[in-house]
Amino acid sequence: MSQVHTQADPEVVEALERYEPVVGLETHVELGTDSKMFCGCATAFGAEPNTQICPVCLGLPGALPVPNAAAIESTVRIGLALHCTIAQHSQFSRKNYFYPDMPKNFQTSQYDDPLCENGYLDVVVDGEVHRVEIERVHLEEDTGKSLHVGGSTGRIQGATHSLVDFNRAGIPLVEIVTKPITGTGELAGAVARAYVTELREVIRSLDVSDVRMEQGSLRCDVNLSLNRPGQPWGTRTETKNVNSLRSVERAVNSEIVRQAPLLDDGVAIVQETRHFHEDSGQTTAGRSKEEATDYRYFPEPDLVPMTPDPQWVQSLRAELPELPGVRRTRLQAEWDISAREMEALVNTGALEVVVATIDAGASAAEARKWWTGQLARLANSAGIEVAQLAITPAQVASVIDLVAQGRINDKLARQVVDGVIAGEGDPEQVVADRGLEVVSDTGALSAAVDAAIADNDDVAQKIRGGKVQAVGALVGAVMKATRGQADAATVRELILQKLGAQ
């Protein structure tokens, strides 16, 4: 279960004093197959435009599709991980509409016979479990991509011309559609974000997609409507292709704040698609939203129906990996930490790097301390995720080991981390190059101790008189003089010895 802690937007809270939100999420996942859904073309991201195409994915006359077995298996695995019922009979249909980047003028998709139906995914927001019900998981092919040139926003508005890249056309695409999500109130946006976050982790654990939102292999359409309490649901809008987790929440909240004043003034909400703008956090109108009948669905005549073998489905179920929610529960018990501590690891994006640091030999407590403490602060200052820091879990484990050996202390360790991130090499090399190793030799420390005693005679007299607790001030003076490299325990022992207080 994805865990999120959030603070409600005051404008959202104000709007929802009068209205209830209904949210629906349609998440599209490009599968990581080697070839496209109905042909043998490659699916590599970033290839030269229109170099991964053929008569089949371009829909040329006489070209016949052949289904991708790996894509069908991946879809069933996703459905099983989401607790769906796997259909005994499923078929592809033609979804007819015109768009410049869709070469066939129809999309091969699934309409009334999807592969997977009636599942759910649990998420936690502010300690409360929200069950998001899944209506369907179906398989289709992706469209191409239009590139709008000449404008300042990359959108068609203001562009001088558009280019079309058909490389993406025909890539296997799984669409996961929720049932209406109600009863979330001011947490509607947070629940939506938590759902997409957890869904991404589930799919990543199945190893069927890289689910990289920045590359478009995971995209989310956000549907939202408002209604007065106890009244029928309102007219929904659909914000298309939201491409970051943060933006899923912002898109929900933006539509709540936009729609509420319109309804207050008696203005009807238009059923339409909308575009989300990352810079402003606002949505703008796109095109009027079609109903299913507008697409003139009919069964795909070139593809036979699918009838998944129940034994095959059961074998896939038995081979599912440990799912993220189950894994987090296990790790929480193994590490003996609270739900709030696990929530902090998830929210900071530190869970996987902590696990990798433990695998590299560090203790669970030390790995958590570093990734949620100093490293989290560095990442926050840089405006990045902790996993994006230029230090590996193995290097963090090495720093932890150097501290355990007594070769460096925590203060020096922070300097070592800074050096590694700055590109100065592995921890051992940074310690050597910067001369950071702890000094514990009494001969080397004796002069610094004598100087501290001479400079702080009043403190020294207290210690000679039996107030041993005052030794901390002299230890601090020595640590400052040695730039933190002295071994504190050795310094303390040496001071007490010199002052006859042992």
Predicted confidence (pLDDT) at residue 387 exceeds the cutoff of 70 = yes
Per-residue pLDDT tens over the stretch 390-413: 999 999 999 999 989 888 888 889
User: What pLDDT is recorded for position 410?
Assistant: 84
Q: How many residues does the chain have?
A: 502
- The pLDDT of residue 21 is 97
- Report CA 161 to chain centroid distance, whole Å: 35
- Cα(306)–Cα(315) distance, rounded to whole angstroms? 17
- The pTM assigned to this predicted structure is 0.80
Over its C-alpha atoms, the chain yields an Rg (Å, rounded) of 30
3-state secondary structure of 420: helix
Spatial CA neighbour of 456 closest among 477, 442, 487:
477
Residue 233 has pLDDT above 90, yes or no: yes
Provide CB contacts within 8 A for 375, sequence distance 6+.
350, 386, 389, 391, 396, 417
From 138-152, 164-178, 320-334, 350-364, the region with the lowest mean pLDDT: 138-152
Query: What domains are defined for the chain?
Result: 17-307 (no CATH), 322-418 (no CATH), 442-498 (1.10.10.410)
CA distance 276 to 326: 34
Residue 485 pLDDT grade (very low, low, confident, very high; cuts 50, 70, 90): low
Q: Average per-residue pLDDT in the chain?
A: 88
Is it the case that residue 149 has pLDDT exceeding 70?
yes
Q: Which residue has the tokens 């610094």?
A: 448
For position 7, what pLDDT does the model report? Answer: 61
Q: How far is CA 75 from CA 31, 174, 210, in A?
A: 9, 7, 14
Q: What is the reported pLDDT for 475?
A: 66
Query: Which pLDDT score, from 0 to 100, does residue 153 have?
Result: 66
Q: Is the pLDDT of residue 439 over 60?
A: no
**Confidence (pLDDT) at 363:** 95
- The pLDDT tens digits of the residues spanning 84-98 come to 999 999 999 999 988
Reference 460, options 490, 488, 500; nearest CA is 500
Look at residue 1 and tell me whether its pLDDT is greater than 60: no
pLDDT attached to residue 117: 97
- Confidence band for 52, pLDDT divided at 50, 70 and 90: very high
Strand partners, 40: none
Retrieve residue 103's tokens: 């070469």
User: What is the C-alpha to C-alpha distance for residues 405 and 403, in angstroms, rounded to an integer?
Assistant: 5
Helix (H) or strand (E) holding 258: helix 245-264
Place of tokens 């001030």: 473
pLDDT in tens, 193-205: 999 999 999 999 9
Q: What is the pLDDT of residue 349?
A: 82
Binned at pLDDT 50, 70 and 90, residue 6 comes out as low
Q: Which of 14-18, 68-72, 387-391, 405-409 has the lowest mean pLDDT?
A: 405-409
State pLDDT tens for residues 267-302.
999 999 999 988 888 888 887 766 666 889 999 999
The Cα–Cα gap between 47 and 38 comes to 19
- pLDDT top residue among 332 and 438: 332
Q: What is the pLDDT of residue 5?
A: 47
- pLDDT band for position 127 (cuts 50, 70, 90): confident
340 confidence band (pLDDT: 50, 70, 90): confident
Write the CB contacts of 162 (distance below 8 Å, at least 6 apart in sequence).
100, 146, 147, 148, 149, 156
236, 270 Cβ separation under 8 angstroms? no
Top-confidence residue, 301 or 465: 301
For residue 405, how far is the Cα from the chain centroid? 35
Q: Which residues neighbour 499 within 8 Å (Cβ) at sequence distance 6 or greater? A: 453, 460, 463, 464
Report the distance separating Cα 198 and Cα 366, nearest Å.
26
329-335 long-range contacts, Cβ below 8 Å, gap at least 24? 331/355, 334/364, 335/364, 335/365, 335/368
